């Protein structure tokens, strides 16, 4: 069997994406049903226990993480596998060993590798040089694991994703790219509102547009935040300064200010529009405290779904 990587959402077909989301719902329901809310019962799905006992899954983090790191480690343990968590500084990678050599060596010990890094090309090199599945735990280009939890959350609240308008306001980078890919596959209208110079990558937009043509979805990109938010079923935002961009903080704060998700944006959206944020959030910057902590916000549920959707992804790739 050839190994499967998850480097962008497009690593899955639309059917596979739905399958992973269905499995994520099952994992969630079973975990909630299990009295202790933990452990082996939580790993049952599709009428049988998904058992990854004996497998070891490496996790390399070259950037900080709260949600991704903890939800993967817990999820791996609930599936019966072992997580081997590494920071780049602990590996010889930090002292100049090549990514290719690292991938070949780790493939001899581990059964999958979850990696958070800067360049998407590092993930691609790891995936092509190694023989085990590589999962993108965020790069500067994409955050495909986040998109799984995002769609799971919207589906739980709104049902069928087809035809829903998902408005993303802010920097058109990693999180926006994965939402464009995932939303297009699911037949959604993904509307991105970003300032000039901060729009999503043109190739991602073109590809998502092609996928949307087939799925019945739609992709729009505008520099007008209220146009992006108009009649939205869900409004999404992310930090203005991503990890690694700290030196640009002042200029980003200035340019992105009109894209803050606050009362005006929410007035443009549907009255019951969901509010999503991948977190960590900066209240008063990309989102007001009022909206972030308001009645339409599902951000903590969304964070919780990282666990269930990543367990589903691991089960899909490895079981």
Query: Active-site residue numbers?
Result: 116, 143, 146, 238, 278, 306
Query: Does residue number 302 form part of the binding site for ligand NVA (CB under 6 A)?
Result: no
Size of the site for ligand NVA (CB under 6 A): 9
Residue by residue, what is the 3-state secondary structure of the chain? CCCCCECCHHHCCHHHHHHHHHHHHHHHHHHHHCCCCCCHHHHEECCEECCCCCCEEEEEECCCCCHHHHHHHHHHHHCCCEEEEEEHHHCHHHHCCCHHHHHHHHHCCCCEEEEECCCHHHHHHHHHHCCCCEEECCCCCCCHHHHHHHHHHHHHHHCCCCCCEEEEECCCCHHHHHHHHHHHHCCCEEEEECCCCCCCCHHHHHHHHHHHHHHCCEEEEECCHHHHHCCCCEEEECCCCCCCCHHHHHHHHHHHHHHCECHHHHHHCCCCCEEEECCCCCECCCECHHHHCCCCECHHHHHHHHHHHHHHHHHHHHC
By beta-carbon proximity to ligand CP, the closer residue of 11 and 68 is 68
Return the residues of window 22-61 that contact ligand CP according to CB under 6 A.
none
Cis peptide bond prior to 260, omega within 30° of 0: no
Tell me, residue by residue from 241 to 270, as one string, x for binding to ligand NVA by CB under 6 A and - for no binding.
-xx---------------------------
The answer to whether the CB of 84 falls within 8 A of the CB of 138 is no
Segment interacting with ligand CP (CB under 6 A) among 12-20, 65-73, 244-252, 261-269: 65-73
By beta-carbon proximity to ligand CP, the closer residue of 142 and 288 is 142
Closest CA to 217 of 183, 169, 175: 183
Query: Does residue number 175 form part of the binding site for ligand NVA (CB under 6 A)?
Result: yes
Q: What is the chain's Cα-based Rg?
A: 19
Query: Does residue number 88 form part of the binding site for ligand NVA (CB under 6 A)?
Result: no
Tell me, residue by residue from 118 to 157, as one string, x for binding to ligand CP by CB under 6 A and - for no binding.
--------------------x-------x-----------
- Could you count the other beta carbons within 10 Å of the beta carbon of residue 295? 7
Query: Does residue number 62 form part of the binding site for ligand NVA (CB under 6 A)?
Result: no
Contact partner at residue 66 from ligand NVA, ligand CP, none, CB < 5 to 8 Å by partner kind? ligand CP
For residue 287, the minimal CB distance to ligand CP (Å) is: 14
Return the residues of window 228-287 that contact ligand CP according to CB under 6 A.
278-279
By beta-carbon proximity to ligand NVA, the closer residue of 84 and 279 is 279
Query: Does residue number 296 form part of the binding site for ligand CP (CB under 6 A)?
Result: no
Query: Does residue number 67 form part of the binding site for ligand CP (CB under 6 A)?
Result: yes
Q: Which of 8, 68, 102, 139 binds ligand CP (CB under 6 A)?
A: 68
Contact partner at residue 238 from ligand CP, ligand NVA, none, CB < 5 to 8 Å by partner kind? ligand NVA
Contact partner at residue 239 from ligand NVA, ligand CP, none, CB < 5 to 8 Å by partner kind? ligand NVA
Tell me, residue by residue from 69 to 98, as one string, x for binding to ligand CP by CB under 6 A and - for no binding.
x-----------------------------
Bridge partners for 220 per DSSP? 191
Q: Using CB under 6 A as the criterion, which residues of the chain lie in contact with ligand CP when the complex forms?
A: 65-69, 138, 146, 278-279
Q: Using CB under 6 A as the criterion, which residues of the chain lie in contact with ligand NVA when the complex forms?
A: 138, 173-175, 238-239, 242-243, 278
């Amino acid at each position: 069997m050839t190994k499967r990587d998850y480097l962008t959402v497009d690593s899955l077909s639309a059917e596979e994406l739905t399958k992973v989301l269905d499995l994520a719902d099952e994992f969630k329901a079973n975990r909630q049903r299990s009295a202790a809310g933990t452990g082996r019962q939580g790993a049952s799905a599709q009428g049988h226990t998904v058992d990854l006992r004996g497998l070891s899954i490496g996790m390399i983090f070259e950037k900080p993480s709260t949600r991704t790191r903890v939800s993967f480690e817990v999820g791996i343990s609930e599936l019966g596998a072992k997580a081997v968590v590494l920071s780049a500084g602990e590996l010889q990678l930090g002292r100049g060993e090549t990514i290719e050599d690292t991938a070949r060596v780790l493939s001899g010990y581990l059964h999958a590798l979850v990696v958070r890094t800067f360049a998407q090309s590092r993930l691609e090199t790891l995936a092509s040089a190694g023989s085990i599945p590589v999962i993108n735990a965020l790069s500067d280009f994409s955050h495909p694991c986040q998109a799984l939890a995002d769609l799971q959350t919207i589906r739980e609240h709104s049902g069928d994703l087809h035809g829903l308008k998902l408005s993303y306001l802010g920097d058109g980078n990693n999180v926006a790219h994965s939402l464009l890919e995932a939303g297009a596959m699911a037949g959604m209208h993904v509307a991105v509102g970003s300032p000039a110079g901060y729009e999503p990558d043109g190739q991602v937009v073109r590809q998502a547009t092609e996928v949307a043509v087939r799925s019945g979805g739609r992709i729009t990109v505008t520099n007008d935040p209220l146009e992006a938010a108009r009649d939205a079923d869900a409004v999404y935002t992310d930090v203005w300064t991503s990890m690694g961009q700290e030196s640009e903080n002042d200029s980003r704060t200035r340019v992105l200010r009109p894209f803050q998700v606050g009362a005006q944006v929410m007035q443009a959206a549907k009255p019951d529009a969901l509010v999503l944020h991948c977190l960590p959030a900066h209240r008063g910057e990309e989102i007001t405290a009022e909206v972030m902590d308001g009645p339409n916000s599902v951000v903590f549920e969304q964070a919780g779904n990282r666990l269930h959707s990543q367990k589903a992804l691991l089960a899909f790739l490895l079981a």
